Structure formats: structure tokens, C-alpha cells
Amino acid sequence: MAPSPAPRELTWRGIVIGALITVVFTASNIYLGLRIGLTIATSIPAAVISMAVLRALGGGTIAENNLVQTQASAAGTLACVFASLPALLMGGFWQRFPFMQAAVLTAAGGMTGVLFTIPLRRVMLRDATLPFPEGVAAAEILRAGAAREDTGSIRALLQGSVLAAVLTFVSTGLRLLGNGLTATAVIGGTAFRLSMGFSPALLGAGYLVGLEGGLAMLLGALLTWEVLIPVLAQLTPRPAGLAPGAFAQVLWQQKARFVGVGLIGVAAIWTVLRMGRPLLDSVRLLLVRPPADAAPARTDTDLPPRAIRAIAGMVMVVIGGMFFVFARGSIAPLPALAAALAGLACCAGLGLFVAAACGYMAGLVGSSSSPISGVTILAAMCLACVFLVLRAAGLFAGGDGQHFTIGFCLYALTAITASAAIANDNLQDLKTGQMIGATPWKQEIALLIGCISGAVVIPPVLNVLYQTYGFVGSMPHAGMDPTQALAAPQPALLLMITSGIFLHQLDWSLLALGAVAGCVLIGLDTALRRTGRGGLPPLAVGIGVYLPMQVSMTLAAGALLSSLIRRLNPRAGTHRGTMIASGLIVGESLTGVALACLSALSGQDSPLSLLPRGVPAVVPDMAGLVMFALACLWFCRTQIRPPTR
């Protein structure tokens, strides 16, 4: 029997559609990132939009839909370089965002993330402990769109989408419902806190994550807010006039999160070491062309070894060249060449580690909840330490040497951030492709194209936002309204950390505490798995420490909801629950993108707000709690008593 022809996947119209979607997603994510420090996962909105557009054009296939969302989501995710590029401007190294230096380095850094995820695909997608929640959700959406006769799945997807869209619009758009609720108890000057978010997307993601990861994040959040922060409050003098609750928030931002970074770092190293042999075997297979009689199936075929080597060589040359151009503007040619080679070595070594760590975390809890900023902080520390040693050795001696090394670390960090962001997203896309029978090498080409199309958009958007609003502490023109300046929290934090290392002002004890806690959790997880009683993923605990408590608690609520449904009705079909959970992610994501675009165009955080002035904050918060509880109750009811056909 002749093999069936490969489905149409990588098409010119798909590339064009993906590039157009890129503009919207990239601009929205950069604005949100600089305004509030958060971005929107783009895989699922891209899948929905591409499906609608290709259906309108006619002749679209599920594989072509998948390639469009793969390209668009990669480009939208690349916007995460908002965390490093503005730091160069805020630190006085740039006066604007030069197109070539920003776009070329961002594209090349993103491409390294694509190359790093090729061997990771073979290792992580076969790991049964990684649920890849957003990748599974995107695959279910594409399947439902392709199988129009499956009315039950489509109905469940639409129900979840409409519910999430309405709740998100009324809460984030109209501000009539609260986004979360926080209860703080003050005992002896120490604040204990419980905080719950009302995000439908996080509820759906938690449902897909499963009980083990959800409980680990819950443990991390509780240990942070009920143990670590109260202890820090007793050891740290509270500024006069600052309430205990506000002081607890400051301690989390400035101290407790660094414990989470240390924990994530140790757990990530352990994860990469545990994957060491399979990862090396995968790399070896990729670099050697298999014999004709042992060629893998179409659905397991990556880019040819010759193409991988050629792309990798080209990308490394480009990154090294960009580093040299940046360094040559401040120092002599020979030290500039040394700095470029050192930065290139750091990008190659740290890049693979960061890609593996971020890919694993994305597989564990989803791209939206993966603390990519924590891993970026870890990479910034490693880069700064390397260049601190090089400067101490006299390589960048001189009056301007310290200023140059800080700037160079931030510039090199852009390539690593781009690599981490792409790896964080790509493995979800590759999981989607695996579930629908896509061709991996075609997805990898789409991901490379997405890096280029996204990088082209980023510098102009950054320049427009900077010239329009400015950043806190860095205004382009005299007389601008500082209240309208973008907060840019991540760039400010990375600048503070990098400068703090060179100025010897960083508190390493908190990182060490997190590292020790990570070692203890690794031992506990290993012991639990040997007994066959499940496990306690150290990375998930670290994520619970690092992320805001509202996020961790909502993800845990979704995981507990999934377990409760299975206990109340062991025969409950998981497919319908997956479709509803996917719909919750879709509805909030699409509505969030639309509101972000509206906010960017209007220059206001909440241009549609209908909440009257003077209304106590507890009123929308309690209304949000009631609506969220009703949504959870409806979700349970649909699973325990599925609709009759």
C-alpha cells in the first residue's frame, strides 16, 4: 500500500497570515510587559485566529493551521526581550533602540532557542510527567475546528470560551468584578496572607496541569507567605509609616523572590542533569544522518544535520558580530573581540541550560505560568559574575570599564532571554504538532521564520512606546507627564541586579537559602518517587515561591478541581473537561489581547472602566469571588452530570 501523501502544512499564505498576526501579538505583549510586567501566551489565540482566517479563505488543513499558530506564537513570545533591551536605555547605554543592533540580535538569539529545542523535543515530549497544558489545549482546539461534525467538543470549547471572555471583559475591561481577593492577618506586626486570583485561564491551565504540579505550587506559595515572609518580617526593620501588609508585599518583591530564584536554579540544574544522557543521545542522532533503511517517520523527522550545523554556525557568527559591534563602541578592538568571544561562549553554554529549564517548566505548568523572568535573573547573575572575573583580571581596565561591562552583560542577556522565551513556547507548539501528526522539521522552519518576523517588529514598537510614554526614571523629552511613564519593572530589576553584582551590593544569602531548600526538595522528591507515592516536583515548588500567590493558588485550584471531579465521578470523560479548560484559556487570552490593543491605542490602563468612583474595593472583589465560585461549580456540574445526547 502506498503511503498517504503528507498534508499541506508550510504554505506562503500561512507565512503571510502568521506575520500579520505577529504584529498584533508582539506589540500587545511589549506594551503589557512594560506597563505591568506580564505578557499573554500567544499559542492558543494564534491557533483560533489562524483557524478562522484559513476557514474563511477556504482549503485550510489542520496542519496548515498548526504551522500558522506556530510561527505567530513564536514571534509573539519573542516580545519577552522587553525585559532586557529597555534596561540598556534606562542605564544610559542607548538613547534609542537601534534597529540593527536590537532586531538582529533578538532574531539570532531566538533562533538559538529553536535549535536548542530540537534535541529537547525528543526527550521532553516523551516524558509522561510533563502535561504540556497549553500544547494539549491548542491541539484539542485544532482538532475540534477540523472535525466539524464533533459538535460535543466544539460546544464544550465554545462554552468555556464564552464564559471566560465574559468574565475577563467584565473584570479587566469594565472593572465591575475584581481580579482576585486577598486576606491579610496581622499578628504582632507580622502579616500572614492568603490570596486567590479569579482568572479563568489559570483555572483551566491548572485543570490540565494535574494534581502533582498543582499541589507543589500550592506548597511553595504557602511556605512563602505563611513561613518565609513572617520570618523575614521579624528580621527586617519595617519602615515608619508602612503598614504590615504593604511591608509583606515589599519583602516578597525584594527578598522572597530571590529565594525562589535560588530554588529554581538548583532544581533546573538537577532537571538538566537528569536529562543529560537522553539529551546527549538526541544530539548525537541529530548530528549524524541515519541510514536510508533507518530513516524516522515523517512525524519524527527534524531538520537535516547539515542544515542544523549551517544554521547554528551562521547564528553564532551573527551573535558574535553583534557583540563585537556593541563592544567596539566603547573599548579597543582587542578587548572588544575578547568580550564578544566571552559573551558568545556564555550564550552557548547558558543558552542550552536556560532553554532546557524553561522548556521543562513550560511542560510542567504551561508557558503562561512558567517563571521565565526567574531564569533570566539567574542568567543575568551568571553573566555578570563571568564578566566581573574578566574585569578583575584586567581585561576591561579603565575608567569606563565598569560601565561598559554592565551594559555588555545586559546586551548579551537579550540573546539569552530571546532563546529562553522561544524554548518556553516552542515545546508547547511541538507538543501540539505531535498530537495532530505534524512534521517537526516544517514546524522548526516556521519557528525560525517567526523569530525573524517578530524581531523586525520589536525595535520600532519599543521606540514608539518610549517616545510616547517614556520609562520610569528615563524620559525622552522634557515636560513629559511622569505619571504616564511605563513602569518597566523587569528591565529595572535586571539593571539593579547586574549593577548590584559589579558594585558588590547584592544579597547572596537569599539565593543560598533557596539553593539549600532546592537540595532538600530534590531529596524529598526522589524519596517519594522511590516509594511509588508520586512526587513533589522541586521546580513546581520554586515556581510557587516565585510567582504571585494569586497565580499559584488559582493554578492549584484548577488542579484540585480536576482531582475532585475524578473522585466524584470516576467515569467522567476527560475529553470534555479538557475542551472546557481549553476554552477558558482561549476566551481569556483573546479578550486579553483585544483589551491590551485597546489600552495601547488609548494610552490608558482601563479605558472601558464603568466602576463608579468611591465604590469600596471590597464590592467588586466579592462580586468577582461569587462569579468565580459559580464558574467552578458549573465546571464541576458539566463533568459530574454530562449533558445527554
pLDDT of residue 36: 55
Predicted local distance difference test score (pLDDT) of residue 142 = 78
Residue scoring higher pLDDT (159 or 599): 159
Per-residue pLDDT tens digits for 264-320:
777 777 766 766 565 566 556 555 555 555 556 777 777 888 888 888 899 999 999
Q: How far apart are CA 504 and CA 506, in angstroms?
A: 6
Tens of pLDDT, residues 146-155: 666 455 666 7
Lowest mean pLDDT among 202-216, 309-323, 448-462: 202-216
Q: Give the per-residue pLDDT at 318.
A: 92
Measured CA to CA in angstroms, residue 11 lies from 60, 73, 496 at distances of 10, 17, 45
Reported confidence tier of residue 2, pLDDT bands at 50, 70, 90: very low
One-letter identity of residue 605: D
Q: Is the pLDDT of residue 572 over 80?
A: no
CB 282 within 8 A of CB 302: no
Closest CA to 428 of 447, 451, 414, 455: 447
CA pair distance 456, 452, nearest whole angstrom: 6
Give the best-scoring range by mean pLDDT among 12-16, 131-135, 358-362.
12-16
Least confident of 5-19, 189-203, 325-339, 341-355: 5-19
- Please state the separation of Cα 286 from the chain's center in Å: 27
Q: Which of 579, 563, 585 is nearest to 200 (CA)?
A: 585
Residue 343 in this model has a pLDDT that exceeds 70: yes
Q: Mean pLDDT in the chain?
A: 78
- State the Cα–Cα distance between residues 589 and 135, nearest whole angstrom: 14
C-alpha to C-alpha distances, 151 to 159, 162, 576, nearest whole angstrom: 12, 16, 11
In tens, the pLDDT along 79-96 reads 778 778 888 888 888 888
List, for residues 585-618, the tens digit of each pLDDT value: 767 766 776 776 676 677 666 677 787 777 787 8
Tell me: the pLDDT tens digits for 218-267? 888 898 888 888 888 888 888 877 888 788 888 887 788 788 877 877 77
Of the spans 352-356, 476-480, 517-521, which averages the highest pLDDT? 517-521
Check pLDDT > 70 for residue 436: yes
CA dihedral 138, 142, 356, 278 (to 10 degrees): 130
* Local confidence band at 206 (pLDDT 50, 70, 90 cut-offs): confident
Q: What is residue 531's predicted lDDT score, i.e. its pLDDT?
A: 79
- pTM over 0.75? The answer is no
Spell 446-482 as b/e; 16+ CB within 10 A means b: bbbbbbbbbbbbbbebbbebbeebbbbebbeeeeeee
- The predicted-structure confidence for 383-394, as pLDDT tens digits, reads as follows 888 888 887 777
Bigger pLDDT: 399 vs 237: 237
Alpha carbon distance 100, 72 (integer Å): 22
- Angle at the Cα of 93 (from 91 to 94), degrees rounded to 5? 110
How confident is the model at residue 1, as a pLDDT? 39
Is-contact 580 157, C-beta < 8 A?
yes
Contacts 24+ apart (CB under 8 A), 466-475: 466/86, 466/89, 466/96, 466/97, 468/603, 469/603, 471/34, 471/86, 471/89, 471/90, 473/90, 474/89, 474/90
Which residues are paired to 186 by β-bridges?
191
Check pLDDT > 70 for residue 573.
no
